[in-house]
Homo-oligomer: A and B are copies of this chain.
Amino acid sequence: MKKLFMLSTLACVAMGVQAQSSVTLFGVVDNAVQNVRGAGNGHVTRLVQGANASSRLGFRGTEDLGGGMSASFWIEAGVNTDSGAGAATNTNNQASGVSPAAGGGGLTFNRRSTVSLAGNWGELRLGRDFAPSYLTLSAADPFGNVGVGSNFNLLGALGTSKGAQTGVRVSNSVGYLLPSNLGGIYGNVMYALGENASNAPGGTSSDGRHFGARIGWRAGAFDISGAHGRTTLAAGDYVQTDVAGSYDFGFVKLMAGVYREEVRAAAKGRADSWSVGATAPVGAGLLRASYTSTNQNAEAGNNDAAMIALGYVHNLSKRTAIYTTISLIDNKGASVLYNQGRAVASPGGNATGLDIGLRHAF
């Protein structure tokens, strides 16, 4: 999605050292007109960022240390490019750590903030990064987990409703990633700290601690992975377990996944979900479609739903596209939990969303 730019060091003067001394500045500006509607609750038309690819500004670079070793950094900030505001991060993987506290405003490197040491043994990575479980959760979504068609509208709803902070990214993490030379096998493990004191009250000393692992296999047109993540919380651990895969036939790419989301409180809430999706190139464009279904157990509240999403991306270049997406969420039973941004007020009511936008990467 991102075309990269080298900021050349002493360009033209010292070409020989260029490779080992570069910083890449990159980003996306993606704004869309969006209409979201929740049954019994009217609708909102708004300008949003990132309905095709999240708007961002980032800086990254790699240094060759010799002997197959390298060091690298990556800091990447979400930008609400509809208004210029920044996006919030989280400092301790708990609800108390949302920063800025008011829920956004100033720029933070919320999307990624890491330093790494890598070799043929793999990569050690420290900082804020994707939860391994999220990498699999999002792998089978033709809409890239953004915009009105994102299957995160359904797959992340249980955790979001319980205030979980680690469904997508995790701070204070120490991660290890497999090297890229394992015949298509890839994977990573992450351990992240909640940073509570050992004598924290009410058994909360481990709150915000996160462990995640992911393993996958990629071979030609085929790709599959499974992942698991657990965030320790005295009020009930938050657990995700996902398997997702895809096969690219060329004229169409098919993808599917199954997902389990759990809150292990006294009442062990659980949501079991699955999704299927497809993308198909059509000239300079790309058709996208998905169907997602989620079913909660009684402890979670029996909030079931299904979502269908359709979209088209018209590429003006590799970096620039215009696009549109529509989606319909069917809340089952008395559920009002699921929507694209406008809450549903009528029990069992539908929610709809429409995006029309312009995305430019740099």
Contact = CB atoms under 8 A, between A and B. Distances in A.
A92 B45 CA distance: 12
* Among A41, A86, A112, residue most surrounded by chain B Cβ atoms (within 10 Å): A86
A360 interface: yes
A130 interface: no
Given A12-B8, A29-B114, A73-B360, A197 B42 contact: yes
* Among A43, A63, A115, residue most surrounded by chain B Cβ atoms (within 10 Å): A115
Given A57-B59, A91-B80, A6 B9 contact: yes
Interface in A300-341: 316-317, 319-320, 322
Contacts of A11: 6, 8, 11-12
Contact of A126 (B25, B31, B199): B31
Contacts of A57: 59, 75
Contacts of A77: 84, 107
A298 interface: no
Contacts of A127: 29, 31, 47, 81-84
Number of copies: 3
A196 interface: yes
Interface string A178-214: 0000000000000011011111100001000000000
Contacts of A65: 316-317, 320
Given A46-B195, A47-B193, A109-B79, A61 B102 contact: no
Given A25-B25, A320-B63, A107 B108 contact: yes
Given A12-B11, A25-B7, A358-B115, A199 B89 contact: no
B101 A102 contact: yes
A63 B319 contact: yes
A268 B123 CA distance: 54
Interface string A67-80: 00101110101011
A319 B84 contact: no
A19 to B, nearest CB: 10
Contact of A115 (B29, B112, B174): B29
Contact of A86 (B106, B117, B124, B126): B106
A166 interface: no
Contacts of A198: 42-44
Contact of A100 (B22, B102, B126): B102
B111 A84 contact: yes
Nearest to A37: B198
A22 B11 CA distance: 11
A216 interface: no
Interface of A: 3-12, 15, 21-23, 25, 27, 29-33, 41-47, 57, 59, 61, 63, 65, 69, 71-73, 75, 77, 79-86, 88-92, 97, 99-102, 104-117, 124, 126-128, 171-174, 192-193, 195-200, 205, 316-317, 319-320, 322, 342, 357-360, 362
The 5 closest A-B CB pairs, nearest first, are: A106-B106, A100-B105, A42-B199, A84-B109, A84-B113
